[in-house]
Amino acid sequence: MPYIKVGNENSGPIDLYYEDHGSGPPVVLIHGWPLSSASWEKQLPVLLSAGYRVIGYDRRGFGRSSQPTEGYDYDTFTRDLNQLMATLDLRDAALVGFAMGTGEVARYLSTYGSDRVSKAAFLSSVPPFLARTPDNPSGVDPGIFAGMVSSLVEDRLAYLSAFLADFYNVDVFGGNRVSADVVRFSWDIAANSSATAEVDSVPTWLTDFRNDLARIDIPSLVVHGEADRILPIDATGVPLHDSLPGSRMVVVESAPHGLTWTHADEVNAELVDFLR
């Protein structure tokens, strides 16, 4: 299994697990919370068949990557991504972020520019700015995230079950577009990730990406589920599209947050069309 070293914590290395498949223009997949690169299962074969080299990696603290107790902020996440891009010497790449991963896309392009990147896709996005403030009235009450942290600290495993129910809108799509087995698989990934990473990542979602977005100068795709309960479209997808002049916006009717599984056919068609 390939790893890239991105730092140290005391006597131990901090390594990112990654997979690198296929040939052609590179596509880098950046997963969401609380999952790993395994969550791209529905996208990987489609992108490979379409002629792309597909690189997926696990964010520090998640999946098969190292689980340090530090570095859970978007500047560090983005340095990790840049280390991956530089080590693999990726050029003319597309960055595809899902949920928390869209923050890495925005911060990477703002910090490191588009020399290595030709396109960016934001699926179920966190940017531009999730918190409700006087200058961002469409945002979400920050107290919700404080409550989320409290619930994770009190009983992380129980909270993950409740979160994933809303992640996939199981009451609507359970047994139809998403099986109990898929939800259990997602729970297993989340449960085996770092408790520290899961707790410390939550406050990062309130990062203000508005200045980052102003620096993005490449074609962008915004895909969001109409029924996203985790990151409501009016607080995220719509203002993100408005912040990226010339971006393409796709609203997937009735889709939940986890639309890369429940509505994979629709998402994959839009993604491949955009990449081409």
pLDDT band, very low/low/confident/very high, at 202 (cuts 50, 70, 90): very high
Q: What is the mean pLDDT of residues 4-33?
A: 98
pLDDT in tens, 40-70: 999 999 999 999 999 999 999 999 999 999 9
- Tokens at residue 137, please? 């009235």
- Residue 97 contacts by C-beta under 8 Å, 6 or more apart in sequence? 30, 103, 104, 105, 120, 121, 122, 123, 125
Give 162's pLDDT tier (boundaries 50, 70, 90). very high
User: In the CATH hierarchy, which fold is given to the domain comprising 3-275?
Assistant: Rossmann fold (3.40.50)
Task: Supply the pLDDT for residue 110.
Answer: 98
Residue 250 pLDDT greater than 80, yes or no: yes
The distance from CA 6 to its chain's CA centroid, rounded to whole angstroms, is 19
Confidence of residue 10 (pLDDT cuts 50, 70, 90): very high
β pairing state of 53-57 and 12-21: antiparallel
Map out the domains of the chain as residue ranges: 3-275
pLDDT above 90 (res 1): no
Number of helices (H), then strands (E), in the chain? 11, 8
Return d(Cα 115, Cα 154) in angstroms, integer. Answer: 44
Q: 245: how many CB neighbours lie within 10 A of its CB?
A: 10
Q: What confidence tier does 191 reach under pLDDT thresholds 50, 70, 90?
A: very high
Q: With contact defined as beta carbons under 8 Å apart, do 260 and 250 qualify?
A: no
pLDDT digit string, tens, across residues 75-123: 999 999 999 999 999 999 999 999 999 999 999 999 999 999 999 999 9
- 150 exposure class (CB count in 10 Å sphere: 0-12, 13-18, 19+): exposed
What is residue 188's predicted lDDT score, i.e. its pLDDT?
98
Residue 36: the pLDDT is 98
Q: What pLDDT sits at residue 105?
A: 98
**pLDDT tens column, 211-226:** 999 999 999 999 999 9
pTM value is: 0.98
